[in-house]
């Protein structure tokens, strides 16, 4: 992969207009920027939201938007072709061809699927085709879906070894307060580390049409920066939105960590929900944080939750802070009978610096 590569994600509130239809003008601006970047030597992948909202604009007929999974999946199946048709036309105006890639969480957790997804994106790039990625909403299992495309974009950035992730939204970036409540709110230009104070600024979704909001963008930024990807949250509704985001002062920049998590470990750490908790002793904590060991049953002093083999669990140290997260190799019911590895080091991610 080129050292200059970017994943551009555009949210539902930016892709669609007030009526729920596709906002073609925004797509044209993004497409023009993407093609210009590609001509300048960048590798670019686009992640789009908006299929459900666009679909409901076609079939909803003024009715209240549903919230049950089956109907939303059906609506997505209606909206996805409309959304891709708009992207195809927008990129066509810029002289580029697009290819649709629909991904699901398991594409990142299973090595074979992960390699297939990466190979598809690489092949599209080799064909000079712009990959437009969306979650496979129409068939995604509600228990394992991403829930929003911000985290999907962060995982794609890891997948293609991107240097940058741009999250385009309906705000200029991360603000010091909600401008609807505090008119004096100002833009935060850069963030070195995402801590509790930064997370407290997220608030709730401004638009109400997407499933993300600033909190999901911060989660995505944390995931991406832990993967070594510089992340920018910026406005979609400006001239040259992608170029604006990549320029100094074009939004809120989140600096990447020096270490890069693998795509699978990024998925374990940030994209899959924990089903339980393992409280470990100091010796086990030392073994994990300082010696890179697996977690053994003997090091666990307490387990909570109804997890089964393969579920994600939080691993808590004696200080009750979450030190790691991993996939268990034994169910809660059989936990006390285990006398071996309960979380292998290959399935474990440290979440703090020792």
Query: Domain-by-domain residue ranges, the chain?
Result: 5-265, 273-350
> Are the beta carbons of 26 and 83 closer than 8 angstroms?
no
> Are the beta carbons of 342 and 295 closer than 8 angstroms?
yes
Mind giving me the DSSP string for 104-148?
Answer: -THHHHSHHHHHHHHHHHHHHHHTTEEEEEEE-TTT--TTTS-SS
How many other CB atoms are found less than 10 A from the CB of residue 227? 27
Nearest to 115 by CA among 159, 77, 64, 74: 159
The torsion angles phi and psi of 324, rounded to 5 degrees, stand at -160, 175
The full length of the chain comes to 354
The pLDDT, as a whole number, for residue 146 is 59
The pLDDT, as a whole number, for residue 141 is 55
Q: 335: which DSSP letter? A: G
For 223, 244, 252, the CA distances from 100, given in Å and listed in that order, are 24, 25, 29
Q: What is the pLDDT along the chain (354 residues), one digit of tens a residue?
A: 446 899 999 999 899 988 888 999 999 999 999 999 999 999 999 999 989 889 999 998 778 888 888 888 899 899 999 999 999 999 999 999 999 999 987 787 777 888 899 999 999 999 999 999 998 866 655 544 555 689 899 989 989 999 999 999 989 999 998 777 888 889 999 998 888 888 888 765 444 444 457 888 998 998 899 889 999 999 999 999 999 999 877 899 999 987 778 878 887 888 788 999 999 999 999 999 999 999 999 999 999 999 999 999 999 999 888 999 999 999 999 998 887 999 999 999 998 764
Helix (H, G, I), strand (E, B) or coil at 342: strand
Half-sphere exposure of 100 (CA within 13 A, CB side): 15
The pLDDT, as a whole number, for residue 1 is 41
- Chain centroid offset of residue 316 CA: 24
CATH code for the structural domain at 273-350:
2.30.130.10
- The CATH number of 5-265 is which of 3.90.700.10, 3.90.580.10, 3.20.10.10, 3.40.1160.10? 3.40.1160.10
DSSP H or E stretch at residue 37: helix 24-39
Q: Token digits for 6? A: 């970017």
| Cα distance between residue 52 and residue 66, in whole Å | 10
Half-sphere exposure of 200 (CA within 13 A, CB side): 3
Nearest to 79 by CA among 153, 15, 152: 15
């Amino acid at each position: 992969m080129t050292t200059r590569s970017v994943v551009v994600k555009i949210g539902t509130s930016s892709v669609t207009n007030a009526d729920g239809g596709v906002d073609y003008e925004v797509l044209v601006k993004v497409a023009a920027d993407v093609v210009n970047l590609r001509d300048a030597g960048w590798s670019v992948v686009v992640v789009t939201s908006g299929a459900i909202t666009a679909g409901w604009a076609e079939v909803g007929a003024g009715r209240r938007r549903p919230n049950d999974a089956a109907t939303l999946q059906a609506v997505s199946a209606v909206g996805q072709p409309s959304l891709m048709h708009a992207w195809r036309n927008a990129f066509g105006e810029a002289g580029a061809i697009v290819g649709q890639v629909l991904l699901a969480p398991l594409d990142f957790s299973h090595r074979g699927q992960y390699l297939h997804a990466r190979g598809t994106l690489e092949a599209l790039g080799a064909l000079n085709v712009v990959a437009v990625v969306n979650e496979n909403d129409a068939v995604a299992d509600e228990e394992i879906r991403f829930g929003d495309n911000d985290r999907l974009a962060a995982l794609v950035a890891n997948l293609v070894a991107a240097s940058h992730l741009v999250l385009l939204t309906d705000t200029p970036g991360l603000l010091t307060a909600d401008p609807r409540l505090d008119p004096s709110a100002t833009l935060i230009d850069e963030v070195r580390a995402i801590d509790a104070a930064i997370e407290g600024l997220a608030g709730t979704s401004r638009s109400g049409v997407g499933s993300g909001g600033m909190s999901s963008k911060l989660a995505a930024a944390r995931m991406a920066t832990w993967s070594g990807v510089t992340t920018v949250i910026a406005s979609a509704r400006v001239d040259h939105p992608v170029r604006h985001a990549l320029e100094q002062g074009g939004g809120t920049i989140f600096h990447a960590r020096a270490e890069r998590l693998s795509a699978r470990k990024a998925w374990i750490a940030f994209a899959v929900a924990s089903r339980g908790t393992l409280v470990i002793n100091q010796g086990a904590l030392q073994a994990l944080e300082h010696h890179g060991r697996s977690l053994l049953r003997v090091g666990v002093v307490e387990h909570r939750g109804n997890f089964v083999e393969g579920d994600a669990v939080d691993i808590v140290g004696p200080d009750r802070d979450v030190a790691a997260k991993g996939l268990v190799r034994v169910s809660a019911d059989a936990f006390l009978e285990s006398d071996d590895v309960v979380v292998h080091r290959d399935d474990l991610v440290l979440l703090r610096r020792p």
